[in-house]
Amino acid sequence: MPKKETIVRARRAEREGKSPSTQAGEFVREEIEAIRKGEHGARSTQQAKRELAEAEKSQTHKPSRKRSQATLNALKREGKAAASKVALSRHSRAMARKRTSAQKSLSAKKAAQTRKAKSGRGASGKAGDTR
């Protein structure tokens, strides 16, 4: 169960119109912090994201207590290396290599639109504010 402050941060990101992946990033960050503190471990760097995807599915019933406890106990037996900076860096670089040029182009176009909408004057007007 995510902490209340994490849910608040994710909702704030949603209100600001940020992408679903950015909103989900708050939950991933919480998981990584939990692993680094030693609350539990993870087998791979993808594990936090995978659990988040399961949590996002609509649940019509309350999750089983026995199953939740079993999952937590299994995670406690795993190591903490999956949340290290080196492992996360290696994982993010591998994921970046898998992105197609079309995906990168779409992402860049969306970022440009966001910058334009924020400043209201385009990038040149925004650059003038820094001088």
> For 15-26, how does the pLDDT look when each residue is reduced to its tens digit (9 = 90+)?
988 888 888 888
Whether 122 shows a pLDDT value over 80: the answer reads: no
> For 41-53, how does the pLDDT look when each residue is reduced to its tens digit (9 = 90+)?
999 888 767 666 6
The confidence score (pLDDT) of residue 90 equals 94
DSSP-derived letter for residue 64 is P
> For 61-76, how does the pLDDT look when each residue is reduced to its tens digit (9 = 90+)?
777 899 989 989 999 9
User: Higher confidence at residue 130 or residue 95?
Assistant: 95
The confidence score (pLDDT) of residue 59 equals 61
Domain boundaries, the chain: 4-56+64-119
**DSSP track, 25-93:** HHHHHHHHHHHHHTS---SSTTHHHHHHHHHHS--SSPPPHHHHHHHHHHHHTS-SGGGSHHHHHHHHH
Distance CA 100, CA 26 (A): 25
The reply to whether the predicted model has a pTM over 0.75 is no
Distance CA 47, CA 91 (A): 12
Contacts of 46 (CB under 8 A, 6+ apart): 91
The confidence score (pLDDT) of residue 120 equals 61
The confidence score (pLDDT) of residue 61 equals 74
